[in-house]
Amino acid sequence: MGTEFLKIMDHNDVKDIIKNIPIKRKTERIPLKEAHRRVLAEDIRAKIDLPPFNRVSRDGYAVKAEDTFRASEDKPAKLKCIEIILAGEVATKKVEKGTCIEVNTGAPTPEGADGVVMVEFTEKEGDNVYINKGATVGQHIAYKGSDIQKNDPLLNSGILLTHDKIGVLAAIGIGEVLVFKKPKVVIISTGNEIINYDEEMEYGKIYDINSQTIANAVKSCGCIPIYSGISKDDYNDIKNNIKEHLDADVIITSGGTSAGGGDVLKVVLDDIGEIFVHGIAVKPGKPTIVGIVKDKPIFGLPGYPAAALTVFHVFVAPFLRKMAFLDSHKKSDVLKLKISKRYHSSRGRHQFVLVKIEKGTAHPILKDSGAITAIAEADGYFEIPKNVEMIPEESEIEVILLESR
Amino acid sequence: MGTEFLKIMDHNDVKDIIKNIPIKRKTERIPLKEAHRRVLAEDIRAKIDLPPFNRVSRDGYAVKAEDTFRASEDKPAKLKCIEIILAGEVATKKVEKGTCIEVNTGAPTPEGADGVVMVEFTEKEGDNVYINKGATVGQHIAYKGSDIQKNDPLLNSGILLTHDKIGVLAAIGIGEVLVFKKPKVVIISTGNEIINYDEEMEYGKIYDINSQTIANAVKSCGCIPIYSGISKDDYNDIKNNIKEHLDADVIITSGGTSAGGGDVLKVVLDDIGEIFVHGIAVKPGKPTIVGIVKDKPIFGLPGYPAAALTVFHVFVAPFLRKMAFLDSHKKSDVLKLKISKRYHSSRGRHQFVLVKIEKGTAHPILKDSGAITAIAEADGYFEIPKNVEMIPEESEIEVILLESR
């Protein structure tokens, strides 16, 4: 009855094996409007100078600075205002000695002017403007290319296009960008007892949980989940489901990996693929499979929801994030918290413990990995090395959040 | 020339005014498959017991525990195996004294059995099974309703549906959920000099940046941005654009709020709405407008991209996140970092300073709020109270991330 584990492996060795799985990345060109939180796949250089012209940066009067050098409140300089231009307008006249042009922030600096006096330091009477404070050369003018020069490097391939970086691309008139394609990840739940939520509940059946949990976790890793439905614990059913989805980039199954009679995934992979890992010295998640079918990495997660979720976070998510060219670990998702009570660990296995965070304290969830309430309460998890048997009450632990709230 | 600010307000007073703007929330029922990162708008109680039946939690043999009480490796108990069932199957026979049924994890516990012996502690010879270790009553059986009982409260209205919580809903067979509708936020860029990225660049024009920056930042606040295009600095153009979009929940404009001749938003709001705030004692962001038009909150941001972005983050984002029923501040988005160099602040105004984070140190960006390179480099910002003039090198500051990376 049941199959043997190939060889129970240390979790760090498994991480190394997963790190060495070769990754192929594809790119696609998409409209900037759809690029939020995508990863840039090209180096972007400025297509234009910024500002694109000598730009007025304060509301006021464009002047020849030398006309105002000695101006003060007591002895204002008197200039003749020869034109009024607004932002978006271009002066038709030229600032000559003794004259000025009224300008607004954002307007091109009129020809002949080399400084701008803020409106606060002026008084206007008819066509005459009295300047109460001298302007230096270049004052309140943002010169063409002073912020960015055409062909300057601006953003590097590999950065995440957050809203601010999209603004930078918009600034130079970019309407489309090359980004990494989101990897497609097929989700297969296996088990004769698993039914879809829209099926009639029968005695002995349970609803499919892992498809939903894993598919949405996959989204958070920058990938696109593809629901493949539920496979029976049947050699042909699982094999066909996998073969049908080899156009995807990664395959994730759950269930059917324990050493029980229902374990057919291993047999399928022995036939059509290769198994790298079958059994990890962790709790939960011991009966995990890692392998490959025709160049497509496949992860066989345990069936119990909390175990599947934990294995996904620890071993699969970093791989998917790397494939999607996102950082494997976001620093902000790790919190240092005190543990609310003493926790005893299982000897000989590296352990992952789900916790609920309440008032800045981590409460370990003392439920087995079959319990749904464990997931209902969980905010994150912490790790206990295999040689540590007990975590004392109130000691500090590093909690990795399941998903940013 | 130019309009006067109504009254420059303290930034905390402005925050209070914004907090008191009444919020109307709508709800909608959506498929669970589309519910990732939506906010639950109903209390969920369990529709079924979990497990839904007495569930076997280990591969092995279902027994009458009393048959095995004295079993040991030296003196195994011998039982007759009368049936083999897999997960998803239901036993047709009943476990009687002296018999057992082979079961897999997830199977319903056969009638008559009150314990399960793990396969590891058994040996099978033909129909006979030798039990090497006694089972206690209830061993390896997850009883019906032991995890969750029908009608137990499970998830509360207001929680964010992360992937794990969606798994909880899937577990009880929920296919649709009531969630808060994402608020619709209209984005209007104003300015005669602003053009769309797909328009021909002309002398004196600049590309629209704020529409892209703000629209995507709005998404991160759990809202849906609606691009309204660019309005000229023209009373009717701005008024009509606002009036056309009063079916949205919030309106955000940028540009046209400074005390210059191009300032028409204030005049429009004086006519068709109400202004609560016009001018805030902050840097950047002084010429910000907060008001209301026919019950719809309107925020008038400055035109300079870095200023618009900062004001959005400080004043608008918390409001949008509250409207979307998300937390106004995610703790994990604040980092305590050392500042790389001394920073001098402007007296009399509460200041927000963009920083670049490199190797765990915050580098203040010393560029004015018109610079695009400031945004290209920025990872977050920190605050300097108005009565602080200098932040010493290497002192610790709290950096608020612009968007999680």
Q: Which of A208, A216, A226, A189 is nearest to B161 (CA)?
A: A216
pLDDT at residue B208 in the model? 95
How does pLDDT run across B22-75, given as a tens digit for each residue?
A: 999 999 999 999 999 999 999 999 999 999 999 999 889 999 999 999 999 999
Rounded to the nearest 10°, the torsion over CA A211, A212, A214, A216 is 140
Structure tokens at B365: 């960006």
Closest Cα in chain A to B173: A197
Helix (H) and strand (E) counts for chain A?
A: 8, 28
Chain A closest-CA separation from residue B95 CA (Å): 17
Rounded to the nearest 10°, the torsion over CA A127, A128, A133, A134 is 90
Q: Does A185 touch chain B (CB under 8 A)?
A: no
pLDDT at residue A5 in the model? 61
pLDDT at residue A353 in the model? 95
CA atoms within 13 A on the CB side of B83: 19
Give contacts of A220 with chain B, Cβ < 8 Å. Answer: 163
The residue that leads in pLDDT, A259 or B168, is B168
pLDDT at residue B5 in the model? 61
When scoring A101, A193, A199, A218 by the number of chain B Cβ atoms within 10 A, the one with the most, hence best to mutate, is A193
Rounded to whole angstroms, how far apart are CA atoms A376 and A358?
14
Structure tokens at A143: 């010169």
* Contact in structure between B55 and B147 (CB atoms under 8 Å): no
Tell me which DSSP letter residue A314 carries: I
A11-25+181-323 adopts what CATH topology? Answer: Molybdenum Cofactor Biosythetic Enzyme; Chain A (3.40.980)
Per DSSP bridges, beta strands A77-84 and B224-231 are: unpaired
CB atoms within 10 A of CB A323: 22
Structure tokens at A123: 């008084």
Sign of CA dihedral B232, B234, B237, B239: positive
Closest Cα in chain B to A305: B167
Conformational region of residue A390, where left means phi above 0, alpha means psi within -120 to 50, and beta covers everything else: beta
Are B104 and A262 in contact (CB < 8 Å)? yes
Are A163 and B50 in contact (CB < 8 Å)? no
Are B155 and A376 in contact (CB < 8 Å)? yes
Helical ranges in B227-316 per DSSP H: 235-244, 265-272, 305-311
Chain B closest-CA separation from residue A23 CA (Å): 22
Are B201 and A52 in contact (CB < 8 Å)? yes
pLDDT value at A89 more than 90: no
Q: What are phi and psi of A325, to 5 degrees?
A: 65, 35
How does pLDDT run across B115-142, given as a tens digit for each residue?
A: 999 999 999 999 999 999 999 999 999 9
Write a three-state SS string for B328-380.
CCCHHHEEEEEECCCEECCCCCEEEEEEEEECCEEEECCCCCCCHHHHHHCCE
Residue-by-residue DSSP string for B57-81: -SSEEEE-GGGTTT--SSS-EEEEE
Can the peptide bond before residue A52 be classed as cis, meaning omega within 30 degrees of 0?
A: no
Rounded to whole angstroms, how far apart are CA atoms A207 and A388?
36
pLDDT at residue B329 in the model? 47
Q: Taking residues B307-331, what's their average pLDDT?
A: 86
- At B259, the pLDDT band (50, 70, 90 cuts) reads very low
How does pLDDT run across A260-275, given as a tens digit for each residue?
A: 544 789 999 999 999 9
Are B171 and A372 in contact (CB < 8 Å)? yes
Tell me which DSSP letter residue A148 carries: B
How does pLDDT run across A59-75, given as a tens digit for each residue?
A: 899 999 999 999 999 99
Give contacts of A209 with chain B, Cβ < 8 Å. Answer: 167-168, 170-171
Give contacts of B211 with chain A, Cβ < 8 Å. Answer: 170
Sign of CA dihedral B32, B37, B41, B45: positive
pLDDT at residue A223 in the model? 97
- At A2, the pLDDT band (50, 70, 90 cuts) reads very low
Q: Taking residues A78-102, what's their average pLDDT?
A: 94
How does pLDDT run across B26-40, given as a tens digit for each residue?
A: 999 999 999 999 999
A331-401 adopts what CATH topology? Answer: Beta-clip (2.40.340)
How does pLDDT run across B198-246, given as a tens digit for each residue?
A: 898 999 999 999 999 999 999 999 999 999 999 998 899 999 999 999 9
Helix (H, G, I), strand (E, B) or coil at A249: coil
* Mean pLDDT estimate for chain B: 92
A-B interface: how many C-beta pairs under 8 angstroms? Answer: 306
Rounded to whole angstroms, how far apart are CA atoms A361 and A363?
6
| A27-48+153-180: CATH number | 3.90.105.10
Give contacts of B32 with chain A, Cβ < 8 Å. Answer: 197, 212
pLDDT at residue A329 in the model? 47
The angle at the Cα of A351, spanning A7 to A297, to the nearest 5 degrees, equals 50
Q: Does A130 touch chain B (CB under 8 A)?
A: no
The CATH class of the B27-50+152-180 domain is alpha beta
Are A193 and B106 in contact (CB < 8 Å)? yes
- At A332, the pLDDT band (50, 70, 90 cuts) reads low
Structure tokens at B59: 């591969």
* Residues 80-99, chain B, touching A (beta carbon < 8 A): 84, 86-90
Are B209 and A170 in contact (CB < 8 Å)? yes
How does pLDDT run across B146-161, given as a tens digit for each residue?
A: 999 999 999 999 999 9
* Residues 245-304, chain A, touching B (beta carbon < 8 A): 258-262, 303
pLDDT at residue B6 in the model? 59
Rounded to whole angstroms, how far apart are CA atoms B61 and A390?
33
A55-142 adopts what CATH topology? Answer: Molybdopterin biosynthesis moeA protein; domain 3 (2.170.190)
Rounded to whole angstroms, how far apart are CA atoms B132 and B122?
6
Rounded to whole angstroms, how far apart are CA atoms A109 and A53?
8
**Which range, of A101-115, A146-160, B252-266, B389-403, averages the lowest pLDDT?**
B252-266
Chain B closest-CA separation from residue A196 CA (Å): 8
Are A404 and B332 in contact (CB < 8 Å)? yes
Per DSSP bridges, beta strands B77-84 and B99-103 are: parallel
Rounded to the nearest 10°, the torsion over CA A324, A325, A330, A333 is -10
* Contact in structure between B225 and B215 (CB atoms under 8 Å): yes
pLDDT at residue A371 in the model? 87
Structure tokens at B274: 């109400």
* Contact in structure between A191 and B104 (CB atoms under 8 Å): no
pLDDT value at B257 more than 70: no
Per DSSP bridges, beta strands B122-125 and B60-63 are: unpaired
Residues whose CB falls within 8 Å of the CB of residue B351, separated by 6 or more in sequence, listed in order: B282, B283, B345, B383, B384, B386
- At B368, the pLDDT band (50, 70, 90 cuts) reads confident
Q: Which of A203, A213, A208, A202 is nearest to A190 (CA)?
A: A208
Chain A closest-CA separation from residue B336 CA (Å): 11
B11-25+182-323 adopts what CATH topology? Answer: Molybdenum Cofactor Biosythetic Enzyme; Chain A (3.40.980)
Rounded to whole angstroms, how far apart are CA atoms A38 and A180?
7
Instruction: Spell out the domain ranges in chain A.
Output: 11-25+181-323, 27-48+153-180, 55-142, 331-401
pLDDT value at A1 more than 50: no
Q: Does B338 touch chain A (CB under 8 A)?
A: no
What percent of chain B has pLDDT above 70?
A: 95
* Mean pLDDT estimate for chain A: 92
* Contact in structure between A301 and A253 (CB atoms under 8 Å): yes
pLDDT at residue A351 in the model? 95
Are A107 and B193 in contact (CB < 8 Å)? yes
* Contact in structure between A293 and A192 (CB atoms under 8 Å): no
Q: Does B102 touch chain A (CB under 8 A)?
A: yes
- Give the ipTM: 0.90
Are B205 and A88 in contact (CB < 8 Å)? yes
pLDDT value at B271 more than 80: yes
